[in-house]
Amino acid sequence: MGTSVGIYVFPDVEELDFVGPWEVLRCWEHAWAGDGTEVFLFADEEGVVQCAKGLRVLPDHRTAELPRLDVLVYPGGPGTRGQLGDPARRAWLRAMAETGTLMTSVCTGALVLADAGLLDGLGATTHWAALDRLAELGHDVSVRTGARFVDAGPVVTAAGVTAGIDMALHLVSRLHSPERASEVARYIEHS
């Protein structure tokens, strides 16, 4: 059985926070189809999602109709601000984590994971301008200033935009092998 990776998109999501990981993970899916990886975008509502800088994307699935996820990629951006404190979002994220989904974030997506209690007692990072907020939202979060990404076992967090690419390559390494991650990195650089 393969690995199912869902990348969540929402109004005012930061484009590079999800497009960087999407590029890496889709490259893995397409160039190494035998690995059985499936990568897709999903959103709460059907239809086009307008991102922070104006890019418009059409997700593959709605949140309510998601197939089983092995990995959730939760990007950041201005749209995360309105998600903090939402009891339904907290419950949804906790339920995903409880079923064994590997929870990952890029940039301020970590704030939403912290708000749901998923970073309590773990090491984590986020965009440099949100590090203090990350500590405030969670309980005993070990904020890793200067880290590109932090793999805390059940949760992997990445700092701002380009760190999401590093995190995605780390996911390929973790979920398959360091050799496959190197191959994907080379493929992206030379395609």
- Kindly list the catalytic residues: 107
Contact 14, 76 (CB under 8 A): yes
Tell me which residue of 29, 45, 176, 114 sits closest to 125, measured CA to CA. Answer: 114
Give the distance from CA 113 to its chain's centroid: 10
> Distances from the Cα of 121 to the Cαs of 74, 117, 140, in angstroms?
20, 9, 5
Q: How far apart are CA 63 and CA 153, in angstroms?
A: 24
Q: What residues contact residue 87 under an 8 Å CB cut-off, 6+ apart?
A: none
